Structures are given as C-alpha cells and as structure tokens.
A and B are shown apart, each in its own frame.
Chain A
Amino acid sequence: MAAVTTTPRQKFGWGSANFVVIALALIPVLWMVSLSFKTPAAILDPSFIPASWTLGNYHQILSTSQFLQPLINSIGIGLIATLIAVILASMAAYAVARLRFPGKSVLIGMALLIAIFPQIALVTPLFNIERSLGLFNTWPGLIIPYIAFGLPLGIYVLSAFFREIPWELEKAAKVDGATPFQAFIRVIAPLAAPGMVTTAILVFLACWNDFLFAISFTSTISSRTAPAAMEYFSGSSQFTVPTGPIAAAAVVITIPIIIFVLFFQRRIVAGLTSGAVKG
C-alpha cells in the first residue's frame, strides 16, 4: 500500500513515529498499573517504578462488595443491554439494508439525532420519570437508556455490514434445494455474524464506559456500575485519598478493554469507520 521505495532513513523515521505513538498511548495506562501496585508509602513517591510492590490494593477492592457488586452490575447490565440492542438493531438494519418502505429516512434521521444527542439533556427528565416508574436505582433503569443509545450505533454499523452481504447466495442456496431456514442458517447467518460481533463489542464498550447515567440513575451498590462506584471508595482513614484502590479498580475495568482490543482490533476499526465514513 505504501510507497515502494523506502530508504533506510525513512524506515527509521516511520519506525520512531510508531514508537512515539505507542508510548503516548500506553504511558498513562502504565502509570495506573504502577500506582495500583504501589504500597501507601510508595504512592507518595512520583517515580514510575514502584519503590515497594504490593497486591494489597487489589486484595482490598476484591474482598468487599463495594467494588465486586458494581463490577457484577457493570458486566450484567452491559451484557443484557448489548444483547437486546444488537437484536433490535439487526432487525432494523436488515430492513434498512434490504427492504423498501416509507419512513426509512425518518429512522435514519432519528438514529443520527440520538447519536449526537447530549446525554445530560436527558438526565433531568429521565431521573424524574425513572423515580415515578420505580426504575430508579435498578438494573433496567440503566439497561433501557443504554439500549436506546446503543441502537443508533448498531443500526449504522449493521446496515453498512448487511449491505455488503451477497444476498444472491441465499437465492442460490434455495435453488439448490435448501429450505429458507437452512439457507438462512447455513449461508446468511455466518456472513452476518462478524458484523454482529463487531456491533456487540462497540455497544458493550459504550455501556462499560458510561459514567453520567450510572451516577445519575443509581444510589446504592445494588445497581451502581464500576466506574460510578470508584468515586465512593474510602481510604484507610477518613482523611486519606484511596489512590491505590482506585488505581487498582481502574486497572481491573481496563482489562476487558485490553482483551477486546488485542483480539478484535480489526473488527473494532472496521466497525468504527463503517458507520461514519462511506467508501
């Protein structure tokens, strides 16, 4: 793809540019990792390598429900919201990509509007609505808004993916004697699966990342998610900042992201760019 003639100097130049990019991206993350392994005394030392190491911070957060329960909430709420959002978005995206019906542009416009919607504008009214419906401080109280904000992303990414599927194959399979169900399961589903996995990752990351809804619509650890719970950590005494435990919690909630990024780098890039830039 790149220019064919590359001098050693250019190679060195791009190589160092790579190095700079990687360093800038990872240093703030490594700083969190370093903090999470520092003993309370070592935290007062700004050096990057901990002067004395400890697993105490991790032990502290993983031994109480103050962080474990929110972690479970984050995973549960994220998975349920993602599952429902991907199913609903797949249905709508199939219709957008394959069917002719009036109102399609209204749907696209609505999805775009929600994609750019300022969440804070919804916090006040939703807070009041959720209180009166008994949804405040419950899992559904977060799941429902997450689905709504996951849908536009899902519809965009999936309709882009669905339009690339060679749907003639379905017809061909039917000609060859497959039932519609077989044609769908054997031919279409495997082709659609990568797009759905990509969408699921992006929607889950969005839920996992949310903070504003999480602090606004919850009041106890029974439904508070992990990012919102970190604010309520307590130090060893009333007057110490719980730096170590917060750093450890930040590392714990970053681990799933690192795993996603390592295994699905191509998918995430494809999904991010397919929704916004059309080739």
Chain B
Amino acid sequence: MSATTEVTAGTAADQPTKKGKPQLSEGARAERRLGWMLCAPAVIVMIAVTGYPLIYALWLSLERYNLEFPQNIKFIGFSNYGAVLTSPYWWQALKVTVIITVFSVSISLVLGMLLAFVMYRTLFGRGTVRTASLVPYGIVTVAAAYGWQYAWTPGQGYLSALFNDSAPLTSEVKAIAVIIVAEIWKTTPFMGLLLLAGLSLVPEDLQKAAKVDGATAWQRFTKITLPLMKPAILVALLFRTLDSFRIFDNIFILTAGANNTGSVSILGYDNLFNALNLGIGSTISVLIFICVAIIAILFIKGFGTAAPGTDIETR
C-alpha cells in the first residue's frame, strides 16, 4: 500500500523539489496557495473550537471565578492549581481513571487479539462476526450504559440475578469492575479491527516456514506475529489509552461518580455544573490535558509508536 502511495505522490509532484526559496516556479506557488486555501476552513474551525478555548481555559484557571459570585472574579495566579493538587478528590478521581484505563485497555488488548484471530481464521460467517462485533462499537455509549445499569439492578437485572441478586453498583470496587466490563464490551471490537488490520500484514509464508522448522503455535505467535504486529498494537494502544482516560459516559450513567467512582472527567464536569466553579473547572481541564499529553509523549517517544500520519510528512 505504501509503495503505491509513494508512486502517486511522485507523479503528483512535477515541481522542483529543491528547497531553494527564490526559484519557486509559478506553478509551485499556485499549488502552495491552493493547498493553503483548501486547508484554511478546516484549520480555522479546529483552532476556533480547540486552540482558542484551551488558551482561554489556561487564563480561567488562573482566576477565582465562581458563577454564583460573578462580582468576585479575581486573578489569583496558581492558587487554583494548589487547591486542586492538594485536594483528595483530584487524586481519588485520578486513581479511579488510571485503574479503569489500565484494566480496560489491557484486557481489551488481549480480548481484541483473540477477536482478531477469530475474524482472521474464520472460514464462514466472516461478515456475520464483523457485523455483530461492530454493534458494540457503534452503539451509543449512553444507551449501552443504561442496559448495563438495569442488568445489574437487584430484582430486575439478569446479571444481578445470575450473581445472587448482588447490587455491585453500590460498592466502590464492584462498581468500578462493572464500569470496566462496560468499557471492555464497547471497545474490544475497535481494538480487534485495528489488530486484524495489523495481523493481515504478517506474511503467511513466514508462518508456514516457521511451522516447517518445528515452531509451536505459541512460538510462532511470540516470535513472528507479535514483533511484526508491534506497530499496529502500539497505535491501537495509544488510541485506546487516550480514549479510556477521558471516560465519562459510562460512569455518568452507571454511578454518576457515587461511592468514589468518579473519573477526572466526571470531577471536571461536577465542578462546572454542580459547583459552578469556572476557575477550578478550568484548572482540572488543564491538568487533564497535561495528563493526556504526557501519555501521548510516553507512547510516541518512549515506545516509538508511529504517530498516525507521520508518513505523510516524510514522503
């Protein structure tokens, strides 16, 4: 696929590729202008909706700003950060978020791998399996979350009945487990499809050769399949981790953050809409953004995950 990509790219660029600035042909300049013009609307919308508000959030986070006391708005420097970072609520929410992220991502990686193998190996009903597994991916998270909530309600839910009429949503650990299960159900198909795409890049010949040489199925998996799939796995992990870190919908419906089950997103939401505290809410926003940036940098620099799209720059 990348080979054909480069060929197309090559034919598209008839213009001189030298970096010499002054000798830019009229055609190259027109191409440049057209490129900018075509990208401008998308860039403007993206900056208007994310870039500007992020800077505004930075500013708000330095202010004492409670909507209940609009006359008391005041610049207070980093006091909000001090308040949030010394608050047990923030650390509890961060702990819950990290636990949910670690468990849901790692379990859905293993299950996604199994799912990818099932979809890859299956001889008949290939379409049916894919269609069925796209349902959890596509379903509205809130709709599914209500289903899980009622399923675990004592006296009326099938899962609760299966587990001796337990009420897991009323205890911290069990509620978090239920949230993790809901997350895994929803996200494993996406993981499986990304891994399937990586799996189909592993040459069948290599597997056969290793089989002839007497490698066991497990050896073939760990020595051939896994190393070759590493890029696909890392990209899938990066996306899933960042996505899981912002978990909101499932928790909002299942527990609304009761019994210490709130994530950082729930905490940010509560500070804005229940406490009406824009200053603290913005501080939490900025801290979440920093967490996400750290995760992304860890993946890209630490594990060498190829950021999707980087191939476009280098061609």
A interface residues, Cβ below 8 angstroms from B: 1-3, 6, 11, 14-15, 17-18, 21-22, 24-26, 28-29, 31-32, 35, 43-48, 88-89, 91-92, 94-96, 98-105, 107-114, 116-129, 144-145, 147-149, 151-152, 155-156, 159, 163-168, 205, 208-209, 211-212, 216, 226-227, 230, 243, 246-247, 249-251, 253-254, 257-258, 260-262, 265, 268-269, 272-273, 275-279
Q: Are A45 and B156 in contact (CB under 8 A)?
A: yes
**Measured between alpha carbons, how far is A112 from B47 in the docked complex, in Å?**
13
**Measured between alpha carbons, how far is A159 from B115 in the docked complex, in Å?**
28
When the two chains form the complex, which single residue of A14, A104, A163, A261 contacts B135, counting CB atoms closer than 8 Å?
A261
Q: Are B138 and A243 in contact (CB under 8 A)?
A: no
> Which secondary structure dominates chain B's binding surface?
helix
List chain B residues, Cβ under 8 A from A168.
11
List chain A residues, Cβ under 8 A from B138.
205, 209, 257, 260-261, 268
> Which secondary structure dominates chain A's binding surface?
helix
B312 beta carbon closer than 8 Å to chain A: yes
Q: Are B235 and A276 in contact (CB under 8 A)?
A: yes
Residue of B nearest to A262 (CB): B131
Interface size of B by CB at 8 A reads 117
B interface residues, Cβ below 8 angstroms from A: 1-2, 4-5, 8-9, 11-13, 15, 28, 31-32, 34-36, 38-39, 41-43, 45-50, 52-54, 56-57, 60, 115, 118, 120-125, 127-144, 146-148, 150-151, 155-158, 160-161, 185, 189-190, 193-194, 196-198, 200-201, 204, 231-232, 235-236, 238-239, 242, 245-246, 248-249, 252, 264-265, 268-269, 272-273, 278, 281-282, 284-286, 288-289, 291-292, 296, 307-313
Q: Are A269 and B130 in contact (CB under 8 A)?
A: yes
B142 to chain A minimum Cβ distance, whole angstroms, is 4
**Measured between alpha carbons, how far is A155 from B41 in the docked complex, in Å?**
12
**Measured between alpha carbons, how far is A257 from B144 in the docked complex, in Å?**
12
Residue of A nearest to B32 (CB): A101
**Measured between alpha carbons, how far is A128 from B272 in the docked complex, in Å?**
10
A125-B285, A163-B8, A250-B146 known; A118+B246 contact, CB < 8 A? yes
Residue of B nearest to A152 (CB): B46
A131 to chain B minimum Cβ distance, whole angstroms, is 9
B44 to chain A minimum Cβ distance, whole angstroms, is 9
Q: List 22 A-B contacts (CB under 8 A).
A: A3-B121, A14-B121, A25-B136, A26-B132, A46-B155, A99-B31, A100-B31, A110-B47, A116-B242, A120-B285, A124-B284, A148-B48, A156-B309, A205-B138, A209-B141, A211-B249, A211-B252, A243-B150, A250-B140, A253-B140, A272-B194, A276-B197
Q: Are B123 and A108 in contact (CB under 8 A)?
A: no
Q: Are A101 and B36 in contact (CB under 8 A)?
A: yes
List chain B residues, Cβ under 8 A from A18.
118, 122, 125, 128-129
A22-B128, A125-B53, A278-B308 known; A265+B246 contact, CB < 8 A? no
List chain A residues, Cβ under 8 A from B200.
1
When the two chains form the complex, which single residue of B38, B54, B120, B146 contacts A95, counting CB atoms closer than 8 Å?
B38
List chain B residues, Cβ under 8 A from A275.
308
Q: Are B265 and A212 in contact (CB under 8 A)?
A: yes
**Measured between alpha carbons, how far is A2 from B142 in the docked complex, in Å?**
37
Residue of A nearest to B111 (CB): A24
B296 to chain A minimum Cβ distance, whole angstroms, is 6
Q: Are B158 and A46 in contact (CB under 8 A)?
A: yes
List chain B residues, Cβ under 8 A from A98.
12
A197 to chain B minimum Cβ distance, whole angstroms, is 16
List chain B residues, Cβ under 8 A from A32.
143-144, 146-147
**Measured between alpha carbons, how far is A196 from B239 in the docked complex, in Å?**
23
**Measured between alpha carbons, how far is A209 from B140 in the docked complex, in Å?**
5
A88-B41, A108-B312 known; A151+B35 contact, CB < 8 A? no
A45-B156, A99-B35, A151-B45 known; A230+B57 contact, CB < 8 A? no
Residue of A nearest to B282 (CB): A124
A107-B43, A118-B245 known; A167+B143 contact, CB < 8 A? no
A145 to chain B minimum Cβ distance, whole angstroms, is 5
Q: Which of A3, A112, A124 has the most CB of B within 10 A?
A: A124
**Measured between alpha carbons, how far is A209 from B136 in the docked complex, in Å?**
12
Residue of B nearest to A119 (CB): B246
Residue of B nearest to A25 (CB): B132
Q: Which of B2, B193, B196 has the most CB of A within 10 A?
A: B193
**Measured between alpha carbons, how far is A18 from B123 in the docked complex, in Å?**
10
Residue of B nearest to A227 (CB): B142
Extra pairs beyond A121-B54, A163-B9, A216-B269 (18, CB < 8 Å):
A21-B115, A25-B189, A31-B158, A101-B32, A116-B242, A116-B296, A119-B265, A122-B285, A125-B54, A149-B49, A151-B46, A250-B142, A251-B143, A253-B143, A257-B135, A265-B131, A277-B231, A278-B1
List chain B residues, Cβ under 8 A from A102.
32
List chain B residues, Cβ under 8 A from A14.
118, 121-123
A21-B133, A92-B39 known; A124+B201 contact, CB < 8 A? no
List chain A residues, Cβ under 8 A from B313.
104-105, 108
**Measured between alpha carbons, how far is A119 from B266 in the docked complex, in Å?**
12
Q: Are B309 and A111 in contact (CB under 8 A)?
A: yes
Q: Are B42 and A91 in contact (CB under 8 A)?
A: yes
